[in-house]
Amino acid sequence: MEKKHENMRILSILANRCIILGKEKTGNMGKGDGNMRRVIWIVLDSVGMGEAPDAADFDDVGCNTIGHIMEAYPDLKIPNMRRIGYGNIDGMQGVKPVEKPEGAFGRLKEMSAGKDTTIGHWEMVGIYTPKRLPVYPDGFPQEIIDEYVRRTGVPGILYNGVASGTAIINELGEEHRRTRKPIIYTSADSVFQIACDESIYPPEELYRQCRIAREILTGDHNVARVIARPFVKEGDTFVRTANRRDFSRKPEPDNLLTRLVEAGQTVYAVGKIEDIFDGEGITEAIHTKDNMDGMDRTAAALGFVDRGLIFTNLVEFDSAWGHRRDVKGYAEGLEAFDRRLGELMALIGPEDMILITADHGCDPSFKGTDHTREYVPLLLYGAGIKPGVNLGTSETFADAGETVRVLLGLNECGKAYPASPLPVGRDRSADIIRE
């Protein structure tokens, strides 16, 4: 896998006609001059900032991921996000504003019909999803399960309903080991999840089953993601491993990522970004174990991504603390991220921009265990970004993607989609670039 990533990196550099020798670069991109060479886009998975106007449609009135964390931990130490302007965002609750923010800031409202990872990330890059993806509160139709069993060759399945992933593996883990039947479950999101003990079905075999399920789930049953949920037994408890993989439905082909690749720029995906987009519009990818590994990989990418997008998802906020309703763990995770953010801010160059946002909420103090329909924050930081700019409230997550498109020069270049705006989203670059 590492060799594959290295080969992709070399091809990307050659495509950009640029040879990197330390800090000296020779050659010229000839691909249009945006205001930035690189954008480091970090998605804090599920770190929402208050109920969206249509929260009632999703049974989420009263949710506020960061607000409720701040209620529980009012002295939360996130100085680097605050200095960019996190506490200055309109509607932000609990986070103290600073007198002179060092970046631009705002909040984004989701226009697509959903509150999950796939739809949130897709909208960021210009894909609008007007219709909710299929969900299965009563489990999957028997014909889907029968076809899965027939094509995978497993001896049957366990469960088939809505469940908490950590709870269901402990409830059925021993029976799964005895019978070799995979545990099939879903949630309030559009997902088909397959949980297997790694000693029964190694990860590669589980991935094979997921690919088959992905082929089966088409038409009216084209769920957002098929998710591999491998686990192991530690003592008396079953715990998930870091070998999770997501198998997404394919996104619409016209989006920020595909345009960047078409223009010869790098799209380096960190974490589950590659899975969310089913590999489309990705030139290089690396999967991660946790948030800190994600930040390590993001910082390392500054050493070889010369031009384009470093796109990172930090999933632990959602998977480890949001869904498990762990307010303390969530708070500690935010502090740990903020420390690493300070390091990253010191590493970037004069033509780099850090962009921080989220894909939905997952309020760890809220009822249930599912995502929450919330506004998400937008932070923009770099030497070329005008400090103290309040961008207010955007009507779509795609304002972030359209702004990145212009900043990376795709208003002047690109082969398939020369200079045209993304399908949705408003460019805010003129508001934030230093003169």
Pair 354, 390 in one domain: yes
Please tell me the predicted confidence (pLDDT) of residue 33. 53
What CATH number did the domain enclosing 39 receive?
Answer: 3.40.720.10
Pair 158, 272 in one domain: no
- Inside any domain, residue 134: no
- Inside any domain, residue 132: no
Please tell me the predicted confidence (pLDDT) of residue 364. 98
| 385, 104 Cβ separation under 8 angstroms | yes
Pair 176, 293 in one domain: no
Pair 207, 262 in one domain: no
Q: Domain containing 182: what range?
A: 142-248
- Give 414's Cβ-side CA count (13 Å radius): 25
Please tell me the predicted confidence (pLDDT) of residue 168. 97
Among 189, 218, 248, the domain boundary falls at: 248
pLDDT in tens, 176-224: 999 999 999 999 889 999 999 999 999 999 999 999 999 999 999 999 9
Pair 226, 297 in one domain: no
Pair 311, 375 in one domain: yes
Please tell me the predicted confidence (pLDDT) of residue 420. 84
- Taking the C-alpha atoms of residue 113 and residue 58, their distance in angstroms, rounded to an integer, is 10
What CATH number did the domain enclosing 193 receive?
Answer: 3.30.70.1250
Pair 177, 234 in one domain: yes
Helix spans in 85-164 (H) = 117-124, 142-152
- Inside any domain, residue 321: yes
Pair 345, 278 in one domain: yes
Pair 238, 265 in one domain: no
- Inside any domain, residue 161: yes
- Inside any domain, residue 106: yes
Residue ranges for the chain with pLDDT beneath 50: 1-32, 413-414, 416
Pair 233, 283 in one domain: no
Please tell me the predicted confidence (pLDDT) of residue 419. 66
Please tell me the predicted confidence (pLDDT) of residue 412. 58
Among 184, 219, 248, the domain boundary falls at: 248
Helix spans in 156-250 (H) = 165-179, 203-216
pLDDT in tens, 382-400: 999 999 999 999 999 999 9
Please tell me the predicted confidence (pLDDT) of residue 29. 34
Among 233, 248, 263, the domain boundary falls at: 248
Please tell me the predicted confidence (pLDDT) of residue 35. 87
Tokens of 40: 């480091």
Pair 352, 237 in one domain: no
Give me the number of domains the chain comprises: 2
Please tell me the predicted confidence (pLDDT) of residue 435. 79
Pair 417, 293 in one domain: yes
| 302, 287 Cβ separation under 8 angstroms | no
| 262, 308 Cβ separation under 8 angstroms | no
The 3-class SS string of 305-371 reads CCCEEEEEEECHHHHHHHCCCCHHHHHHHHHHHHHHHHHHHHHCCCCEEEEEECCCECCCCCCCCCC
Please tell me the predicted confidence (pLDDT) of residue 10. 37
